[in-house]
């Protein structure tokens, strides 16, 4: 693991306090340096994606979580822009509907797990079922608190079956969120992203922070650890995610397969 990843990981089994992390932190990296490193990381990621696709025995799943305006869409756009779109799937999880409401909460998640050889990105995920449902009392505590262990078992199973899971919590401050909401209202290309529900959810800021604290503490495992990304500075957020994904994929020791017999 590179130095940046080691600084941002939530160490499994260790004490962790979300309020100890500064969302403005850039770990000593300036914007110009970050942009140069990001360009190189994109090149490396494209090569790693090519090997992953050719090998076709494993997959990579990137989970992005964060409060409204934390930058999930922006991270996908800026970090993954250099990848071959044929080998990437992006799934956004909203309120369950249709068949999703007639199955267990992990059913729709498992359906969206990337096939071998591909990179899958979750914009929100199964963690909504221990976040939103908790904050808004959609299900009883005795239901959602069991889901931490269920999720850990699910992710361990996926890992044992060849899926590399990389989970990122994009951390922004409450002031930064307000600033981004204002920018959405002032920019006609972003106004569509704003909803009255966004401001309503701000009233539950503290409840969400406590819920995320539990998610990050209880569900950062050896099989699928969490990374907390200080995300007030978008350029640092992009670099941190790209760098960690690149580093984790390099650690998979991907290799091009030998040519099949008769194809040499």
pLDDT over threshold 90, residue 86: yes
pTM: 0.95
User: What is the count of structural domains for the chain?
Assistant: 1
Query: Is residue 257 situated within a structural domain?
Result: no
Residue 114 and residue 89 in contact, taking contact as beta carbons nearer than 8 Å: yes
- Residue 258 maps to a domain: no
Residues 19-70: tens digit of each pLDDT:
999 999 999 999 999 999 999 999 999 999 999 999 999 999 999 999 999 9
Q: Range of 18's domain?
A: 3-251
- Is residue 260 in some structural domain? no
Q: What is the pLDDT of residue 262?
A: 61
For residue 138, CA distances in Å to 37, 119, 142, 144, 196 come to 43, 32, 12, 9, 20
Q: Which two tokens stand for residue 27?
A: 């770990």
Instruction: Judge contact between 45 and 83, C-beta under 8 A.
Output: yes
- The CATH number given to whatever domain includes residue 77 is 3.40.50.300
Check: CB of residue 83 under 8 Å from CB of residue 49. yes
Residue 235 is predicted with a pLDDT of 98
In-domain check, residue 13: yes
Residue 88, Cβ density class (10 Å: 0-12 exposed, 13-18 middle, ≥19 buried): middle
Residue 221 lies in a domain: yes
**CA-CA distances (angstroms) from residue 155 to 110, 147, 150, 163?**
10, 12, 9, 9
Q: Is residue 259 part of a domain?
A: no
Categorize the per-residue pLDDT at 191 as very low, low, confident or very high, splitting at 50, 70 and 90: confident
Query: What would the mean pLDDT of 193-214 be, rounded to a whole number?
Result: 89
The answer to whether residue 262 is domain-embedded is no
Asked if the structure places residue 263 within a domain, the reply is no
Q: Determine whether 146 is exposed, middle or buried from the number of CB atoms within 10 Å of its CB (0-12, 13-18, 19+).
A: exposed
Instruction: Over range 106-134, report the average pLDDT.
Output: 98
């Amino acid at each position: 693991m590179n130095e940046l990843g080691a600084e941002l990981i939530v160490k499994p089994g260790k004490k962790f306090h979300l309020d100890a992390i500064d969302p403005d932190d850039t770990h000593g990296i300036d914007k110009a340096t970050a942009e140069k490193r990001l360009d190189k990381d994109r090149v490396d990621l494209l090569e790693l994606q090519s090997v992953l696709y050719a090998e076709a025995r494993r997959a990579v799943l990137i989970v992005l979580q964060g409060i409204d305006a934390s930058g999930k869409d922006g991270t996908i756009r800026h970090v993954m822009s250099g990848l071959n779109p044929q080998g990437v799937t992006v799934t956004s999880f909203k309120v369950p509907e249709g068949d999703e409401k007639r199955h267990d909460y992990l059913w729709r998640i498992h359906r969206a797990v990337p096939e071998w050889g591909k990179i899958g990105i979750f914009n929100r995920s199964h963690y909504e079922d221990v976040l939103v449902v908790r904050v808004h009392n959609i299900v009883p505590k005795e239901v959602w608190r069991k889901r931490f262990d269920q999720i850990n078992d699910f992710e361990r199973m996926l890992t044992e079956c060849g899926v590399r899971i990389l989970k990122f919590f994009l951390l922004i401050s409450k002031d930064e969120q307000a600033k981004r909401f204002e920018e959405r209202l002032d920019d006609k290309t972003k106004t569509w992203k704003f909803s009255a529900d966004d401001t309503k959810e701000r009233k539950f800021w503290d409840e969400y922070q406590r819920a995320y604290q539990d998610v990050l503490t209880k569900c950062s495992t050896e099989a699928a650890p969490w990374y907390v990304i200080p995300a007030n500075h978008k350029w640092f957020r992009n670099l941190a995610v790209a760098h960690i994904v690149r580093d984790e994929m390099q650690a998979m020791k991907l290799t091009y397969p030998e040519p099949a017999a008769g194809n040499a």
